[in-house]
C-alpha cells in the first residue's frame, strides 16, 4: 500500500467518524429536547453514557490526528516548520513538526 493510499484510507476513516459524530450529536439534541418536554426515566443516566462515549471518541480522534501528523512529519510530507498538535506533554500544545 502506498503512502497516498494509506493517507486516503485515513481520511476516509475521519469522514466516517464525523458521520458517526453527526448522528450521535443529533441523538443528544433530540434527547435534550425531549427532556425539556417531559423528563424520561433514566434520561440522565443515558446522557452520561452518551457524553462519556463522546469524550472517548474525541480522545481517539486526537490520538489519530497526532499519529497522522507524525507520519506526515516523518515522511517529509509537511514542512518541518509547520506547527502540529503535541499531546505527549501536559495538555495539547502546538510545536514544530520536526
- Asked if residues 24 and 53 have their Cβ atoms less than 8 Å apart, the reply is yes
* Whether the predicted pLDDT of 57 surpasses 80: yes
- CA angle at residue 21 from 68 to 19, to 5 degrees? 80
Confidence of residue 1 (pLDDT cuts 50, 70, 90): low
Q: Give first-to-last CA distance, the chain, whole Å.
A: 25
Confidence of residue 25 (pLDDT cuts 50, 70, 90): confident
Higher pLDDT, 31 or 24: 24
Q: What is the DSSP letter of 59?
A: H
Q: What is the DSSP letter of 47?
A: H
State the burial class of residue 73 (Cβ atoms within 10 Å of its Cβ: 0-12, 13-18, 19+).
Answer: middle
Amino acid at each position: 500500500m502506498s503512502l497516498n493510499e494509506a493517507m486516503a484510507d485515513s481520511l476516509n476513516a475521519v469522514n466516517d467518524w464525523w458521520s458517526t459524530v453527526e448522528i450521535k450529536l443529533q441523538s443528544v439534541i433530540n434527547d435534550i429536547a425531549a427532556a425539556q418536554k417531559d423528563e424520561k426515566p433514566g434520561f440522565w443516566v443515558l446522557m452520561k453514557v452518551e457524553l462519556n462515549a463522546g469524550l472517548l471518541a474525541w480522545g481517539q480522534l486526537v490520538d489519530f490526528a497526532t499519529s497522522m501528523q507524525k507520519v506526515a512529519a516523518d515522511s517529509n510530507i509537511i514542512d518541518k516548520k509547520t506547527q502540529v498538535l503535541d499531546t505527549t506533554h501536559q495538555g495539547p500544545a502546538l510545536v514544530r513538526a520536526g
